[in-house]
Structure 1
Amino acid sequence: MQIHLTDIENAATRIAAFACDFRPTRLTDADLGLCGRSLADTYAVAVAGRGEHAPLAALAYLSRAGLLHNHTGQGASLWGRSERAAPEIAAWWNGIAGHVLDYDDVTVPMRGHPSVVLWPALLALAEDRGLMGERLSSAFTVGMEVIGKLSRAMALSHYAAGWHSTATIGALGAAVACCHLLDLNARQIVHAIGIAVAQAAGTRENVGSEGKSFQAGHANAVAVRAASLAEAGFEAGAGALDGPNGFLALYAGDDAPHDWLAELDEAPLELRRSGLDVKQYPMCYATHRALDAVLALRAAHGVRLDDAERVDITTSHGALVPLVHPNPRTGLEGKFSMPYAMAAALKDGAIRLTSFVDASVQRPDIQAFFPRVHATESAGPATPRWAEVTITLRDGRQLHQRVQTLRGSAQQPLDAAELAAKLDDCMAWTGVAARGPELLALARQCHARPARALITDLQAIVASAVKETA
């Protein structure tokens, strides 16, 4: 069933028409390259996260519940592991592993992480169904478009009200992406949106805890479940998104503009317009501009932690909202702490995965420096984002650095070697030998490979690299 624009009555039918009409042939080589880079980054970060406490606890839960199996060809893979599960379960677990380190990519309008709520769901379904890869990249692009447009309509006030937009907005975009992947008709997509709305949840109170990664995993499970139920004929309210008591009214209130759908499917697509910011540092993105600044000052002037009397950060309005741990004691808390970011950068000269073991955060000189870090927000507009750092030295001198464009952002992307180096760091975190360039090259061919072959080869890279380091 195809819905023409003249027949559209609400937001769900407009989105459904877009998702039905979008064709993989619309993607340029540059678009396909962006999708492949995003897949490589998301998969590598999940492999790095697979041994963290949250995914291991989730694995124990799945094992006790009898939800795991090792039968090749059935279900979908748990990334970096031998176990398999039904696609909904695999997407959930891979989403947890992909988000627990907070090292996965972001997109600015969302105030959240799009790839980690798209790729686990899409790959789990595609692997389970034995689909060809040509719709993987187009499904990712469709999901990005829905996430981007919803985010422009509501993310700022939604996030400020306490919602975790990665989990909420992400679940809806991922559900539509899964529908496109499965080539569902417009009526089915409308129902899938309603089913996804019925499950969308996530609070910023879980920031700095394992609950945040659960919420990312849950968004993937929501997407797979919503698309699969709609495919089976399960129905939902057509106005669940923008009706009087729908998602926008409940989750965004009166702040959401009414013309947010006007640019859906208009050039440039959100994949190009908003783009993806690949993280250089495995911690909350709200610290990254300040980190770029302080590391640049350290490199230029040779300043170290012992030289600094205090650090002052001024940044754009709303930028500090996720940084909820001024005095962290654990590695996970440290990921959401500006004082720890500044102290660790000055002491170590880098922020890596090893920065977020508990012992690194608990170093006495690091803990003692926390009161010397002072961060404030500007009263100006929330965007464009920027940060200015001033280091006051013990001898009275002051060093200044302002950063607006981040390395790794859509405006200043990492080159292939820099991205491969991040992939290597992720794999090394769990004892896997360097395979970054190989992993990146494989992921960039995701549109041209059968999904099962793609996953088999990705998993083989990890397995073979583990053997080399044994």
Structure 2
Amino acid sequence: MSLVDEMAKFTVSEAVGKIGENHRRRAIEHILDTLGVGLAGNTDPIASSLLTYTERLGERGGYTLLGNAVSASLLQAAFVNGILCHALDYDDSSWRLIGHPSAVVLPSVMATAESMDAGGRELVTAYLIGTEVSCKIGAAAEPELYQAGWHATGVVGVLGAAAGAGYLLGLSLDQMIHALGIAASSASGLRQNFGSMTKPFHAGIAARNGVNAAYLAQCGFTSNPEALEGKTGFFANFANKQPVLKESMGEPFDLLQPGFFVKPYPSCAATHTAIDAMLSLVKEYGCQADQIESIYAGCGPVGPIMLVHNRPLQGTEGKFSMPFVLAAAVADGEVGLDTFTDDKVNDPVIRALMEKVEFGIDEQYRTRSVEEAPALIRVKLKDGRVLERSKQMADGSPEHPLSYEALIGKYRDCAGRVLSPDRVERSLEKIVFLDSLPRISSLTTELRPG
């Protein structure tokens, strides 16, 4: 059986039977996290550009834009919400995908679910299917896809978005095969755009294109059945290899094993072990910026590949800067939503401390895989003391998951930046009990200000 046949068969007829209550509970936690960071995405300058763009293109409609009183067309809602969910780089990630599964799949299935006012249980099922397709294809394409300069969030995510939306639309097996082929020709996303507004654009355009592919297939649009595996197909072009699935679809679901990374900090996942280690030192020893002579940050091979802005000039670039996140951790004693602003990146104290940071691959981590991001932090103080801390797995990783209370707290903090306290609590309750909602509209109403 070809890969596209296996993906389509899983989506259309096999997935539902493999989904248990444990899958649903975990999915709802990630949906909660993704909706929260999507709402908080409205605090980024990208949001005003998106609203202006929606208005100028005449893309207003009846579909929810997270945290906004105005609505948009179905495809535009998937697009805008995808960007908002990834705007802060606070959304979950998968090391197997080397990308962000939920920020693409959830906006695509939410917009599709709104089109039929589906129930929450169907939304959760579609989310599970879409993220599983993304991650299994990603695992088959990585690390070659990433090393070639592609961003899997957009390139692979569009296939998961098409699968999730296609499930909700009730596509037949043949239609699903065509939808995946259409999505494969819609794939895009360059890593060169990391640190700019175009990185979250990758999530939005993948969500939009995935929904578009599913609807086109439903209307009789066709694609080549070898679009994924053919000699000039998806894998040949993006990964320069033929795919081999490492596990069968849904056995296990990637969401459960190995699991997704839920971020406690709104920055690239490759910074998180280092931030954890630095904040631990700051808390234990009370380090101050003026006490520090130098900082050494050693990491694995993935660090320099992802963290491309050693001397950032904008807040968006700071999310991909090891010197900045460590300097901010020392200067402020925390790293959060208010860290990644243009003013903060250009703060004189932080910029002076950034110049003292040496960042590179540490010899003990040189052979680590691209799926790992260990960190060694060594701080030399002016009084001669040397403080050192290492971290193998970051807080929020599947190995060190955030507590349920921390997830709820993160949602309240994010949602509370754009919604009233009452709406925050009502939306939280709807999400927690999403599986039992008879109509998704009862949730989307609470995701708008008012």
Letter in structure 1 aligned against 2:433: Q
- Three-state SS of the structure 1 residue aligned to 2:287 is coil
Residue number in structure 2 paired with 1:189: 176
Residue number in structure 1 paired with 2:271: 287
**TM-score scaled by structure 2?**
0.94
- Taking only the aligned residue pairs, the percentage that are identical comes to 34
Which residue of the other structure, out of 31, 34, 40, is the alignment partner of 1:39? 31
**TM-score scaled by structure 1?**
0.91
Does residue 339 (structure 1) correspond to residue 327 (structure 2)? The answer is no
- What does 1:216-227 correspond to in 2, within 5 Å? 216-227=203-214
Q: CA deviation at 1:190?
A: 0.5
Residue number in structure 1 paired with 2:381: 393
CA contact (8 A) 1:178 1:223 kept: yes
- Superposed CA offset, 1:225-284 (max 9, x none): 000000111001100001111000000003x5x432x62225222111131211100111
Residue number in structure 2 paired with 1:72: none
CA distance in 1, matches of 2:386, 2:424: 39
Residue number in structure 2 paired with 1:156: 143
Residue number in structure 2 paired with 1:122: 109
Q: 1:432 to 1:133 in 2, by over 3 A?
A: closer
Gaps of at least 5 residues in structure 2 are none
Q: 1:115 to 1:221 in 2, by over 3 A?
A: same
CA distance in 2, matches of 1:308, 1:434: 45
Which residue of the other structure, out of 293, 310, 324, is the alignment partner of 1:326? 310
- Superposed CA offset, 1:140-194 (max 9, x none): 1112221221122122121111111100011111111211222211100110011
CA distance in 1, matches of 2:357, 2:416: 31
- What does 1:79-228 correspond to in 2, within 5 Å? 79-228=66-215
CA distance in 1, matches of 2:424, 2:115: 26
Q: CA deviation at 1:354?
A: 0.9
Residue number in structure 1 paired with 2:13: 21
Q: CA deviation at 1:340?
A: 0.6
Letter in structure 2 aligned against 1:112: G
Does residue 307 (structure 1) correspond to residue 291 (structure 2)? The answer is yes
CA contact (8 A) 1:37 1:440 kept: no
CA contact (8 A) 1:147 1:169 kept: yes
- Superposed CA offset, 1:365-384 (max 9, x none): 11111121111123212144
Letter in structure 1 aligned against 2:443: I
Letter in structure 1 aligned against 2:187: A
Greater shift, 299-308 or 100-109, is seen at: 299-308
Letter in structure 2 aligned against 1:33: R
Q: 1:51 to 1:294 in 2, by over 3 A?
A: closer
Q: CA deviation at 1:435?
A: 6.5
Q: 1:431 to 1:11 in 2, by over 3 A?
A: closer
CA contact (8 A) 2:418 2:449 kept: no
Greater shift, 131-140 or 292-301, is seen at: 131-140
Does residue 376 (structure 1) correspond to residue 341 (structure 2)? The answer is no
Q: CA deviation at 1:463?
A: 2.7
Q: CA deviation at 1:32?
A: 1.2
CA contact (8 A) 1:405 1:411 kept: yes
Residue number in structure 1 paired with 2:441: 453
Q: CA deviation at 1:437?
A: 6.0
- Three-state SS of the structure 1 residue aligned to 2:274 is helix
CA contact (8 A) 1:208 1:333 kept: yes
Q: 1:101 to 1:172 in 2, by over 3 A?
A: same
Which residue of the other structure, out of 322, 333, 342, is the alignment partner of 1:349? 333
- Three-state SS of the structure 2 residue aligned to 1:375 is strand
CA distance in 1, matches of 2:353, 2:368: 30
- Superposed CA offset, 1:305-343 (max 9, x none): 222111111112223312111111221111111111000
Residue number in structure 2 paired with 1:360: 344
Residue number in structure 1 paired with 2:413: 425
Letter in structure 2 aligned against 1:110: L
Letter in structure 1 aligned against 2:185: A
Does residue 412 (structure 1) correspond to residue 400 (structure 2)? The answer is yes
CA distance in 2, matches of 1:395, 1:237: 68
CA distance in 2, matches of 1:352, 1:110: 25
- Three-state SS of the structure 1 residue aligned to 2:96 is helix
- Three-state SS of the structure 1 residue aligned to 2:231 is coil
CA distance in 1, matches of 2:356, 2:324: 11
Does residue 317 (structure 1) correspond to residue 305 (structure 2)? The answer is no
CA contact (8 A) 1:121 1:223 kept: yes
- Three-state SS of the structure 1 residue aligned to 2:368 is coil
CA contact (8 A) 2:159 2:210 kept: yes
- Three-state SS of the structure 1 residue aligned to 2:380 is strand
- Three-state SS of the structure 1 residue aligned to 2:379 is strand
Q: CA deviation at 1:432?
A: 4.5
Considering only aligned residues, what root-mean-square deviation do their CA atoms show, in Å?
1.8
Greater shift, 138-147 or 342-351, is seen at: 138-147
CA contact (8 A) 1:145 1:271 kept: yes
CA distance in 1, matches of 2:422, 2:147: 40
Gaps of at least 5 residues in structure 1 are 1-7, 70-74, 465-470
CA contact (8 A) 2:287 2:330 kept: yes
CA contact (8 A) 2:175 2:220 kept: yes
CA contact (8 A) 2:272 2:395 kept: no
CA distance in 2, matches of 1:305, 1:59: 40
Residue number in structure 2 paired with 1:463: 449
Q: 1:152 to 1:432 in 2, by over 3 A?
A: same
Q: CA deviation at 1:385?
A: 3.1
Q: CA deviation at 1:356?
A: 1.4
Q: CA deviation at 1:393?
A: 1.0
